[in-house]
Amino acid sequence: MLYVTLFICFCASIFLTPLVKKLAFKIGATDKPNQRKVHQKIMPRLGGLAIYISFLIGIFVIQPNESFNLHLINPDGHVHLALILGSLIIILTGAIDDVKEISPKVKLLGQILASLVIIIYGNIKVEFINLPFGGGQLDFGIFSIPFTMVWIVGITNAINLIDGLDGLAGGVSSIALFSIAGIAFITGNPYVTIVALIAAVSTLGFLVYNFHPAKIFMGDTGALFLGFLISVLSLLGLKSVTVMSLVIPVIILGVPVSDTFFAIIRRLVNKQPLSAPDKSHLHHCLLKAGYSHRQTVLMIYAMSAVFGLAGFIFSQATIRGSVIILLTILIIIEIFVEKIGLIREDYKPLLNLIRGFRQVNLRNK
């Protein structure tokens, strides 16, 4: 039944996307080209609506089946309903922005409301973290709600920020969802496995029209929905809340999270507002380096796949192994960031340090 449901979601997304495209033109949900954007003509957005409807179809098709009843897999029905209601708020927020381009504050308010539905009604929040190396437990107390809210809003916006090239956010999100589904399957969490797979195949169906050259954009409707869903599923997928287990979804989302992190650093270094748009994101830097649109997207897909695999290995490693993996990932990211000038062209502290060591070694020889 699961395979049939996934096939239905994929086909539904392929069928619905052209209809959403017509709707987008009709209601004015279009994206006009400007100096910051890569596309050269007016493009319909709102494509995330096709992903969302396909996702809902999958949820409602699989739920009545006794083998895969989502309420049986996840006995707390509030969690499932909270996920649906929170997603609806996110979809409405994104759709309004795709049509009228609301202010960042209003968009943030919609994300906060959706996260509160998850936290309060769904009772999903990080209340404590078990510290590694026998360090006891860190209890968040009253800060559990703001911590969880920051997590959900942060991951949601991380996906939204990389939505700058045809098929980029959709492909990265699909890879992340498949990675989350794989880890959830291994750790015995069928609810997260099924919901993540349904969302992933619904996104793949949309990518048929969204991959370069795109015929439609997912818009904030899709980017916010996928980011929100990934953020919530990553919380539900944590078998035990430890510092290391919280790192797993961050590794899986290595591309959007690191791009967002370095965008914040870049704006602080350049003394710009955090909300100020620019053309120095990862995909912009790769395009400037001479890679084509399609090559850039495929390269970032490959990076996302590597991060997904690293997250899977990390989830099965010992604490000592996890630390080694994490340090290796951080060093590789830093070197890559300095190579492509993600923060600034002259920002190369680690590369300069390595170059200094090489020069010292050459002199000693």
**SS3 label, residue 236:** helix
Question: How far, in whole angstroms, is CA 365 from its chain's centroid?
Answer: 48
Complete DSSP assignment for 184-227: HHHTT-HHHHHHHHHHHHHHHHHHHHHSSSPSS--HHHHHHHHH
- The tokens for 281 are 């994101």
Angle of CA points 8, 14, 17, to nearest 5°:
125
Residue 130, beta-bridge partner list: 137, 242
Angle of CA points 135, 182, 54, to nearest 5°:
125
Q: What is the DSSP-derived secondary structure letter of residue 343?
A: S
Cis before 18? omega within 30: no
User: Do 218 and 45 form a contact (C-beta atoms < 8 A)?
Assistant: yes
Query: Distance (Å, rounded) from C-alpha 154 to C-alpha 269?
Result: 21
Ligand-binding site membership of 69 (annotated): no
Distances (CA, A) of 149 to 89, 112, 143: 15, 7, 10
Query: Distance (Å, rounded) from C-alpha 278 to C-alpha 37?
Result: 10
Ligand-binding site membership of 160 (annotated): yes
Kind of pairing between the strands at 137-139 and 43-44: unpaired
Query: Distance (Å, rounded) from C-alpha 361 to C-alpha 353?
Result: 12
Q: From 223, 215, 232, 253, select the one nearest 52 (Cα to Cα).
A: 223
Annotated binding site: 160, 220
Annotated binding site for Mg(2+): 160, 220
